């Protein structure tokens, strides 16, 4: 039972990301919710992906007009 619980927790935890700061680096996890984020890649037909591996699903017209490395305000999950 303990092993199953540990596996379930490990599979749902978001990875930690390193972000630069003025005093070195800060370890953070992805920010969920409404934020402005850069689009680092796109996945057809409707998914945008941010640097912290969060995703945003958008309407087809928004997907087509969203350029890589542009910043978009979205509900990131």
Each residue's pLDDT tens digit in the chain (77 positions)? 544 444 444 444 556 666 676 777 666 667 889 999 999 999 999 999 999 889 999 999 999 999 999 999 999 99
The tally of CA atoms less than 13 A away on the side-chain side of residue 42 is: 17
Q: What is the pLDDT of residue 4?
A: 44
Q: Does this model's pTM top 0.85?
A: no
Give the Cα separation of 64 and 77 in Å (integer). Answer: 20
Q: What is the pLDDT of residue 22?
A: 74
């Amino acid at each position: 039972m303990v092993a199953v619980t540990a596996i379930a927790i490990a599979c749902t935890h978001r990875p930690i990301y390193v972000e630069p700061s003025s005093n070195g680096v800060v370890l953070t996890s992805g920010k969920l919710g409404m934020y402005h984020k850069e689009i680092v890649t796109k996945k057809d037909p409707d998914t945008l992906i941010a640097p912290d591996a969060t995703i945003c699903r958008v309407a087809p017209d928004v997907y087509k007009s969203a350029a890589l490395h542009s910043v978009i305000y979205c509900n990131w999950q």
